[in-house]
Amino acid sequence: MARFELGACAEVIATGRVGVVEERNRTKVTLCFFDKEYIEPEYITFKDHELKPTGTPTITTSQLGPFVRGEITLEAVSNGINYLSDYVKTDSKAYKISVADILVGVNVYEKMSPKDVLKWIDTIMQFEEELSFTDDPWKDIVDEVKEKDILNLAYNGLEEIRWDTFEDEPVELLNEDFKRLKDCLETWIKSEGKEYPESLVRRIANQFDSDSIDKQSEKTQQLFKKCLDSLCDKKDPKAIQRRGYCYYCGTKIYPNDWIKARDAFIEYYQLTGDASAANTLGYIYYYGRCNGGVPEYEEAFKYFSIGHAYTYFESTYKLADMFAHGYGVVKDGETANHLYWSVYKQNIKRLIKEDYECKFADAALRMGNCFRDEIGAQKDLETAYYYYLQADFAIRKRTAVANHYGDTVVFNGIQKALEDVRKEYTTKGRTEKFIYPGWTKWTLIKHRGCKLKIKELKDGVLSLTASPMKRFDEEKAPLMLITIPKADYCELRDRITIKTAKNSTYGIFDGASEIIFDHVEFDYGKRITKFYQYDKCIGEICTEEYFFTAPTVKKKLSGEVYHFVSVCFEESGRCYDYICDNKSVKVGDKVIVDGYDGKKTVKVVAAFEKYESQLGLPIERFKKIIKKI
């Protein structure tokens, strides 16, 4: 009795029809027939004695080229069963697919039915390795465009047609897919490789941005520039935006040019109305990038207002900066404070969900400024320090996962604020005391419950372990941002341990082993905290005080020691840190540095040394002093 292996071919003895073994169950064999309908094959089950084994059709190396060109069909190669083995029989030298052959095939098959198109494409894909068709269709194109890049493009185009055919697209749409592919191939062939299909131009222009293009070879940079400039000439909005960022940040092929950057973003905004462009324009005008460093506040206010209307956080806090200092508007600390707080509230929600690229650091820094500089608030250095610690934690997290433009400036601003306030705010200690259950401000994250486990220690002291609970639509619960100013402590935690004073008592109702609560009530007279879930009291604790002790974080100094100087730019009055290899440079000296708009002569206002572990940013993020004057 013959044994029919899966994937092998078998002939029906009674009819001579050949199919592929799809399933085998004892004496029954299911065959898949592609001869009548390729897209929706027919499945028929037979008893094994009704069948006989037959050879599986193969394609030969000499047939690959004619098949790709549409000179022979799958039926001709497979003796009408529309099925081939994965094995290619060698009967002449190996065939390597070419753009010219693909174009010939496209010209043939664009006139065919969807099922004929699918047979052709499926077979090409089946033997892509033997054809040396593609290694990685989405691989970056570097140095220069080669035929293999056009073949990769053709591969993607055929894949698109293949899926359209599976989805039973109308023939007219299939023809549109063929036309796009045909145009790409003809452009390459007719220009002898000197012109690129537009889809390839877009792909190259989208491969890199202002952060990554300088890491590429000079040839790749020039290829990128050629493609990006070509799209900009055609008024392609995304290309104009991308080139604008290149001019904004400065690259080897697009050196920093604020006027070109401004004009690019104006053009992009006029074409699209995209508020991200308004946000960027606000920065250009706010810092007077195109005006010799003299701010153009009227234009900045206009564009930041647009960005704020579209909830761009950068626009909102820069608009607040203008109100805080009276830059081009009536000075209004309360409005500034309100705007800062709105950004803070929105971004702390993102931070506790471990979205470290959010704008929380920028908002927390400004909230600290409000309580240090009395911007819509009374002076309170402890609260200011509280926000600065949060800003420091957030910026370190952000710079560890991303390289955002301007983060070095934000980081240095936070360090300076911490240092300045630390001189005046001198309270020390690792333990925070609460008469009322103030620790629940950390655990009661909005719209969720909190789990509280109670453990009895000596002398009536209770150990409370609290952790927020995840909702049904979350994979995990948000973390808690715990901040203790006097301990220089700020950290995201998934649980905290609180201890009570001695002689504390508690009760958990309904026989539960732990308390699940979503709000609390506190009786000052009796010192009783009642824990509620919805409107039901779940448990209570009676204690004179609660204590939370911040863990000790050991900051070990490591790495190289670098010499830094702080320099002050006269136009803005802002100070920035630069690495200085010349240790003879001292306070009061003048040095030349790279500024936002070229080389600048600036005055040294401080000099200091730091271990690499103290920097908080990768050393390559710091610029160097060019020379001492």
For residue range 307-325, list pLDDT tens digits in order.
999 999 999 999 999 999 9
d(CA 303, CA 315): 8
- Region 511-526: mean pLDDT is 92
Q: Is 357 helix (H, G, I), strand (E, B) or coil?
A: coil
Task: Measure CA of the first residue to CA of the last residue in the chain; give whole Å.
Answer: 97
Residues 81 and 194 in one domain: yes
Q: Are residues 245 and 318 in the same domain?
A: yes
pLDDT at position 573 over 90: no
Shared-domain flag, residues 186 and 245: no
Query: Are residues 357 and 419 located together in one domain of the fold?
Result: yes
| β-strand partners of 33 | 42
Q: CB atoms < 10 A from the CB of 320, how many? A: 28
Domain stop point among 375, 402, 424: 424
pLDDT of residue 112: 86
Q: Structure pTM?
A: 0.80
Average pLDDT over residues 351-373: 97
Q: What is the mean pLDDT of residues 110-124?
A: 89
Instruction: Tell me how many domains the chain contains.
Output: 5
pLDDT at residue 171, rounded to an integer? 57
The answer to whether residue 477 is domain-embedded is: yes
Contacts of 395 (CB under 8 A, 6+ apart): 361, 407, 410, 411, 414, 616
Q: Does 400 share its domain with 307?
A: yes
User: What is residue 604's DSSP assignment?
Assistant: E
pLDDT-based confidence at 546, cuts 50/70/90? very high
Phi, psi (5° rounding) for residue 57?
-60, 145
Residue 4 lies in a domain: no
Q: Between residues 586 and 172, which one has the greater pLDDT?
A: 586
Task: Name the β-bridge partners of 506.
Answer: 541
pLDDT at site 167: 52
Stronger pLDDT, 583 or 454, i.e. the higher one:
454
What range does the domain containing 218 cover?
A: 201-424
Mark whether 263 and 213 lie in a shared domain. Answer: yes
Same domain, 179 and 205: no
Q: Among the listed ranges 153-162, 230-239, 341-350, 487-496, which one has the minimum average pLDDT value?
A: 153-162
The pairing of beta strand 88-89 with beta strand 59-60 = parallel
Helix (H) or strand (E) holding 497: strand 496-500
Three-state secondary structure string covering 395-463: HHHHHHHCCCCCHHHHHHHHHHHHHHHHHHCCCCCCEEEECCCCCHHHHCCCCCCEEEEEEECHHHCEE
536 by Cβ neighbours in 10 Å (0-12 / 13-18 / 19+) ranks as: exposed
* End position of a domain, from candidates 200, 215, 237: 200
* 557: pLDDT strictly greater than 60: yes
Amino acid 422: pLDDT? 93
Please indicate, yes or no, if residue 3 is contained in any of the structural domains. no
| Res 265: pLDDT | 98
Query: For the segment 198-214, what is each residue's pLDDT rounded down to a tens digit?
Result: 989 999 999 999 889 99
Residues 279 and 306 in one domain: yes
pLDDT higher than 60, residue 1: no
Residue 170 has pLDDT above 60, yes or no: no
- What SS3 state is found at 173? helix
Q: What distance lies between CA 17 and its chain's CA centroid?
A: 55
The mean pLDDT of 513-526, rounded to a whole number, is: 94
Give helix 198-207 / helix 218-233 axis angle, nearest 10°. Answer: 120
Q: Give the C-alpha separation, 298 to 463, whole Å.
A: 57
Residue 472 has pLDDT above 90, yes or no: no
Task: Tokens for 458, please give them.
Answer: 């000596």
Query: What is the pLDDT, as a whole number, of residue 426?
Result: 86
115 and 183 within one domain: yes
- 36 and 103 fall within a common domain: no
Q: What is the mean pLDDT of residues 507-520?
A: 91
Element (H, E) at 566: strand 561-568
pLDDT at residue 572, as a whole number:
58
For residue range 249-296, what is the model confidence (pLDDT) as tens digits?
999 999 999 999 999 999 999 999 999 999 999 999 999 999 988 999
Asked if pLDDT for residue 226 goes beyond 80, the answer is yes
User: Helices 171-190 and 147-166 meet at what angle, rounded to 10?
Assistant: 180
Mean pLDDT of 327-342: 97
Residue-wise pLDDT for 119-136, tens only, equals 999 999 999 888 888 777
Asked whether residue 351 carries a pLDDT value surpassing 70, the answer given is yes
Give the mean pLDDT of 401-424: 90
Beta bridge partners of 492: 481
Whether the pLDDT of residue 38 is over 70: the answer is yes
Average pLDDT over residues 397-412: 89
106 part of a folded domain: yes
What is the rounded distance in angstroms from the CA atom of residue 233 to the CA atom of residue 217?
24
Residue 270 sits in the same domain as residue 366: yes
Q: Which string of DSSP letters, residue by residue, matches 14-76?
A: TT--EEEEEEEETTEEEEEE-SS-SSS-EEEEEEGGGEEEEPPP-EEHHHHHHHHTTSS-HHH
184 and 219 inside one domain: no
Q: What per-residue confidence (pLDDT) applies to 211?
A: 85
Last residue of a domain, one of 424, 457, 477: 424
Is 2 among the domain residues?
Answer: no
- Grouping H, G, I as helix, E, B as strand and the rest as coil, residue 522 is strand
Going by the DSSP 8-state scheme, the letter that residue 552 receives in this structure is P
| CATH number for position 361 | 1.25.40.10
Output the pLDDT for position 133. Answer: 84
Q: What was the pLDDT predicted at 596?
A: 66
Q: Which of 20-29, 226-235, 615-624 has the lowest average pLDDT?
A: 615-624
The better pLDDT of the pair 409, 320 is held by: 320
Answer for the pair 386, 412: CB distance below 8 angstroms, yes or no. Answer: no
Max mean pLDDT range (39-43, 95-99, 364-368, 613-617): 364-368
Classify residue 589: in a domain, yes or no: yes
Is residue 586 within 8 Å of 541, Cβ to Cβ?
Answer: no
- What pLDDT score does 160 carry? 85
Ordered DSSP codes for 290-355:
TTTT---HHHHHHHHHHHHHTT-HHHHHHHHHHHHHTSSS---HHHHHHHHHHHHHHHHHHHTTT-
Tell me, yes or no, whether 328 lies in a domain: yes
Cα 129 to the center of its chain, rounded Å: 33
Distance CA 242, CA 215 (A): 17
Arithmetic mean of pLDDT over the chain: 92
- The reported pLDDT for the residue numbered 234 is 96
